[in-house]
Each structure stands twice: as C-alpha cells, then as structure tokens.
Amino acid sequence: MAQTWTNNSGNVKFSVENIYQPKNENQIQDLVYQAIIKKQQIGVVGSGSSITPVTFAKDGLIDLKKISGFKAIDPYKKRVFVGAGTKIKDLGENLWLKDLALFNQAENINATIGGQIATGVNGSGLNLGNYSSHLLACRMITGYGEIIEINESQPNLLHAAQVSLGTLGVMIGLELEVRPKFNLKEHIDHEPYQDVIRNLDERIAKNRHINIYWFASDESAQIFKLDTNSTDKITDSCLVETFNEARETERISDQYQRRINKSHEIYPQKSELSLPEMQYFIPIEFATQCFEELREFMFRNLPISKYPLKLSATGSDEAFLSPNYKRDNLAINIYANPNENYAPFFEEFDSIMDKYQPRVNWSKMHLLTQKQLHERYEKANKFIDIRRKLDPQRIFLNSYLAPLFA
C-alpha cells in the first residue's frame, strides 16, 4: 500500500510504494537488488531537511536513520568513522569527549551527516571547507548492488561522491577528517548598512565565520527571531555575526552576544523557521557589487522581500558538484512569504544573479538548467560519466534530477 512522504518543511510531498528502515548494509543491498530485478526507482532519505524533491522516488525510499552512530574514532590520525544516518548534533559532543571537533559545521544540527554531504551543505568561512570537503572515504552500494570502497586513492570517484545528490548509490559509511577541539567566540552587532558595505571585503577576510543579515523592513528581525538589541530603525540595517577561535586563556562565557563555548554549541542556528528559500554562490570578488544590487532588488519587491537577506563566505573545495569547486564564494540566501506568489520574485533574483556566475545549494530552490550546469560546473561531464557507470539502470536517478544528470 502506497505511503506519503513529506519533508520537514512540508513543501515536498509525494506518494511512494514503500518506505524502508534497514538496520544494516546487507538489508540495504537486498533492497537494491530487488529494485534492479524489478526495474524500480528508489531514493535515499536522511532527515528530510531539503526543500527540493531531491529524494523523490515512486517505488521505494530507504530511510537511513538506523544506519547511524560511531563505528570508530582515531584520535591520532584525527579520523572518525560514522554511519551516514548520524545526526550532526550527535557528532559534536561525542567528538568533544575524545578532544576532537568538526572543522566546520552548518547551522542545522538535526540533519544527517550523509544528507548534508550528499547535497554539499556549507558552513561558512573562507579558510574552511564544507562537510563534503572533509569526506576522506566512504562505503557505497551502487546501482549494481555492489558494495564499493571509495577513498583518496581514487580522486575522481571521491570528488564525485563528496556531493552526489544520492545519484551514485546508497552511501552507508563515512570516514571524516576532524581536528582538535576548540572553543568559538561570538561577536554580534547591529549596524547601519552603509557601515557594513564600506569594509565588507575586509570583514569577510579577517573572520573565521561571518553571517550578515540585511533587513529589508522593520519586521525582518522579528521573523527570524534575531535580536538586534536596539531601539533604532531596523529597515536597511544589518545584524553582523562573527565567530572566531577563542584563545586557550579565554574562559567560557554566556555574555549577551559575546558568548564563548564549545564550537558545536556556539554556531548552530537559533531559528528553524521553514520558508521558500534560494541560496546561490558567487565568486567572492563580486561580494560588494552584488550586495549593493540585491539591496535595490529587495526594496523593489516589498512586501515579499520583508524577510532578511543573508550573506556568508565559503571556502573552496574539490567536489565536482560543490558550489565551492575551486573557488571562494559569497553565499546569498533569500526567503519569501509562502502565502505570496513568490515565483516572479525568485525568477528576478535568478536573472540578476546570472551575471555573477552563480552556483546553487542543491537542497534549496533553484532554477538551474542543464546548459547552465555545464557552463558553471566544469566537472559536470565527469560527474555524469561516473554516475552512468555506477547506476546504469538509473534506479537512483529521479525525475527531478534526470533533466540535469541523465
């Protein structure tokens, strides 16, 4: 009997014949063999945090929540081996107990590490890679039903697997590079737009992490529960969050907007509000010019753009489908009211961004075409060749992704 699968935000919903929760890789392998024999289409789901139908499958979904947990930790080589269904929030404290930490993390701690890697989810920081960049090896069940090991001795396979959108097979086990544990120091200020734009490049370069929320209206901060701690006008101002590594002599502190604590406790987001959202990545050298143009665009589109515009910096990596492939980026998030007709708003944003060589966040809404894929991702053909070899029957290639990667 068909079941309905819905993502966390509720904007993606579809009917699927079966939803499986296998307990081990042998059970997953059996499911893949059955799909091959029956010529079925199957997908893989983690936490359901993507707001695009990247996991869509009509015949079966493999939920990896039971393929989770720590398999081993090597504190000397600074490696950790985990199941793909392990949640980000379970990584932080367990690594800390071994005096280790993730290099970087995104804001959603309830997502699974496998899902975040598969979609190339970013944290922030010009000198820091995303989760995918720290994937050193993995075990995967391919479209042949075979279990393969992918590691640094196979760089093309590894760079394809680091951001695969689930189209190569079922990633089950991960080997991640980690580092010695560290505390982060928070610094949050509310500033006029003109003060921020004046030295934007310098701010991005000198901070480990920087997030900038530009407010299009006085409502913007309230929607995201961002506390400006100010009686000043909110419209056309910014909340600037920076995070830097604390010195060993600096003590843990809960001082307002100046906290110091464990890295995995300081950075995660304060709001889990789900909204229609796009996140595009442009070369960092266009940061100031693009910010100025987007400010004008947002004002033109009130009230749809009453939501904040978010900016952050991201560092380059080697994953073929990563937005950060071999370049440092400015990541730009825009949001819309789900009760408005936001399609024209997103289309105009996409059109404006076209001149800046944009790449996309695969877990957010985007308007990328096949032509643009090959123009903006120089290794797209290599990725597609690998995908065809690992999944020749296309059992992992759904109708949402096929127009790009068939």
Is 396's pLDDT higher than 80?
A: yes
How does pLDDT run across 175-216, given as a tens digit for each residue? 999 999 999 999 999 999 999 999 999 999 999 999 999 999
Is 233's pLDDT higher than 90?
A: no
Is 84's pLDDT higher than 80?
A: yes
pLDDT attached to residue 362? 96
pLDDT attached to residue 13? 87
Is 29's pLDDT higher than 70?
A: yes
Confidence of residue 271 (pLDDT cuts 50, 70, 90): low
How does pLDDT run across 10-25, given as a tens digit for each residue? 888 888 899 999 999 9
pLDDT attached to residue 92? 92
Report the alpha-carbon distance of residue 234 to residue 222 in Å, rounded: 10
How does pLDDT run across 293-321, given as a tens digit for each residue? 999 999 999 989 899 999 999 999 999 99
Q: Which fold has domain 70-180+379-405?
A: 3.30.465
Report the alpha-carbon distance of residue 258 to residue 280 in Å, rounded: 29
Q: Is the peptide bond before 303 cis (omega within 30 degrees of 0)?
A: yes
Q: Which fold has domain 183-370?
A: Alpha-Beta Plaits (3.30.70)
pLDDT attached to residue 267? 86
Confidence of residue 6 (pLDDT cuts 50, 70, 90): confident
pLDDT attached to residue 219? 87
pTM of the model: 0.95
Is 250's pLDDT higher than 60?
A: yes
- The stretch 364-389 carries a mean pLDDT of 97
CATH architecture label of 3-63 = 2-Layer Sandwich (3.30)
- The stretch 99-110 carries a mean pLDDT of 90
Average pLDDT, the chain: 93
pLDDT attached to residue 270? 55
How does pLDDT run across 157-181, given as a tens digit for each residue? 999 999 999 999 999 999 999 999 9
Pair of tokens at residue 231:
């009686």
Is 138's pLDDT higher than 60?
A: yes
Is 230's pLDDT higher than 70?
A: no
- The stretch 208-227 carries a mean pLDDT of 88
Is 2's pLDDT higher than 70?
A: yes
pLDDT attached to residue 231? 66
pLDDT attached to residue 171? 96
pLDDT attached to residue 105? 86
pLDDT attached to residue 225? 76
CB 162 within 8 A of CB 132: yes
Domain boundaries, the chain: 3-63, 70-180+379-405, 183-370
